[in-house]
Amino acid sequence: MYVGELVALPAGPRFALPWLLRYAVSPYRVWDALIRRYRDPVFIRLPESPGTVATGCPEGVRAIVSADASTLVPWRLPSTELLLTNDSIFLQAGDRHRAVRKLLAPLFVPARQAEHCATMAAVVDSELAQLAPGPLVVQELAQRMTLQIILAVLFGLRGGRHVAAFHDAAKRALDDAGPVYLYLRVLRKRFSAFAKTLRALDDIKAMIQAELERRRAAPAACPAGHTDMLDQLMRARHADGSPLGDREIQVHLSDMIVAGHETTTVAIAWTIYELCRNPHAMAALRDELDRHGPPRDAATLAPLRYLEAACNEALRLHPPLVFLSRTVARPLHVSGHDVAPGFGVSLMLPVVHRNPATYPDPHAYRPERFVERSYGPDQFLPFGGGAKRCLGASFALQEMMIVVAGLVSRFDLRLRADRPVKARARTITVAPVGGVEVVLTRRRPTPRARPAPRDGSPAR
């Protein structure tokens, strides 16, 4: 792949480092500042890359989201190749990407939803039953629950030292390094936070390998009906009939552990934060949950439209991933600019999600907007868009809904401090500073409304 020339290169900062540092401390607001100074689209000369044309305007977003898989390929940096490895689905393109997506898709088909939802509800019930009223950091609780859920789905693990070891490694992989490490080689030294992240990822892969070897040594312990994701990948075959190699399985499962649970964790924390700040939304959600009961499976999730809207509205205001980039493989026209192969194109999600033409009063948390209408794939894309849209998007949204419903239906929640929570950029996501500190008070059970008799007479 070569880097060609840009026709009418968009304006942009000459040096990216000041904006990278600004992103690290203000990851949602930095994009509006960029556009105010340079207009949309803007060309960002990111270190260790040819640079990227970033946009949040509808025309530019449509051009990127609607581009086919042969036009846009994964955005690669030396740091992401170290973090993810070339076997990761996040870095694959073309036939190889389609083949891996085909291998992993059965893990998330609708037929598995009932099983996944039951696992999620069981984990939430167990965690919340042990939760004492008083102070709580929502992100820490959400991290425990989402990691337990993904480990139960991947390996059938339910508690014990194995779960604790995975939790420790996942926390080390995500908490230490920040986004600046991705772009500045000088920071990626042997004893840096970035190096600690790499070691934590290696630890996760080693634990996956140990689980693989345990199952091979004792196949009787995993009966034919066993259906966790590790078992499915061990049985999966490439198009030529060959099994997946151990390294492939390690990488695919570690991607799910780290990327999957991290994005959902911060999304849950942001949802609880917004509900606590908006009593009308909290009351509307409580009313829906009191009428229907907390969701237990896919069927009981379906009627909870306000719960889904509350989660989607939090994802709109606080997308866990805010800067989605691809590399141009074939020339692409973006808002009056012909982007040549080798350069990047990027979506600035905070700009997309706060466009007042699409979302009136865009800074307000108003779940009703997702009840009143639906939004196109170029207007709402917290899970990405196009050919690279997240395979586990439905899984993540169900997980959010079940965790949020569990907390809201069992506890009254209030923020410990009456002030806005700031956002901070982590290695791959944008999280609330402090993790959203709340105070819990256990709710008294609310009798569920009885349906009216069919003859129209009032219920007794």
What does the H/E/C string look like for the chain? Answer: CCCCCCECCCCCCCCCHHHHHHHHHCCCCHHHHHHHHHCCCEEECCCCCCCEEEECCHHHHHHHHCCCCCCEEECCCHHHHHHHCCCCHHHCCHHHHHHHHHHHHHHHCHHHHHHHHHHHHHHHHHHHHCCCCEEEEHHHHHHHHHHHHHHHHHHCCCCCHHHHHHHHHHHHHHHCCCHHHHCCHHHCCCCCHHHHHHHHHHHHHHHHHHHHHHHHHCHHHCCCCCCCHHHHHHHCECCCCCECCHHHHHHHHHHHHHHHHHHHHHHHHHHHHHHHHCHHHHHHHHHHHHHHCCCCCHHHHCCCHHHHHHHHHHHHHCCCCCEEEEEECCCEEECCEEECCCCEEEEEHHHHHCCCCCCCCCCCCCCHHHHHCCCCCCCCCCCCCHHHCCCCHHHHHHHHHHHHHHHHHHEEEEECCCCCCCEEECCCCEEEHHHCEEEEEECCCCCCCCCCCCCCCCCC
pLDDT at 457: 43
Is 70 exceeded by the pLDDT of residue 67? yes
Rounded-to-integer distance, Cα 151 and Cα 145, Å: 10
In the chain the domains, ranked by start, together with CATH numbers, are 17-442 (1.10.630.10)
pLDDT at 448: 54
Rounded-to-integer distance, Cα 87 and Cα 84, Å: 8
pLDDT at 460: 36
pLDDT at 441: 95
Mean pLDDT of 273-302: 93
Is 70 exceeded by the pLDDT of residue 322? yes
Residues near 92 by Cβ (< 8 Å), separated by ≥ 6?
74, 86, 100
Highest mean pLDDT among 94-108, 130-144, 176-190: 130-144
Q: Which two tokens stand for residue 107?
A: 């893990």
Mean pLDDT of 361-379: 96
Rounded-to-integer distance, Cα 268 and Cα 275, Å: 11
The larger pLDDT score, comparing residue 43 to residue 217, is at 43
Rounded-to-integer distance, Cα 460 and Cα 448, Å: 13
Is 60 exceeded by the pLDDT of residue 224? no
pLDDT at 458: 42
pLDDT at 439: 97
pLDDT at 171: 81
pLDDT at 91: 86
53: β partners: 43, 345
Structure-token match 């964790």, residue found:
265
Mean pLDDT of the chain: 87
Residues near 132 by Cβ (< 8 Å), separated by ≥ 6?
440
Is 70 exceeded by the pLDDT of residue 453? no
Mean pLDDT of 165-194: 78
Is 90 exceeded by the pLDDT of residue 221? no
pTM for this model (two decimals):
0.90
Mean pLDDT of 229-257: 89
Q: Which two tokens stand for residue 32?
A: 């509006």
Radius of gyration of the chain (CA): 23
pLDDT band at 455 (very low <50, low <70, confident <90, very high): very low
Q: How far is CA 139 from CA 104, 191, 317, in A?
A: 28, 28, 17
447: β partners: none
Structure-token match 């198009």, residue found:
239
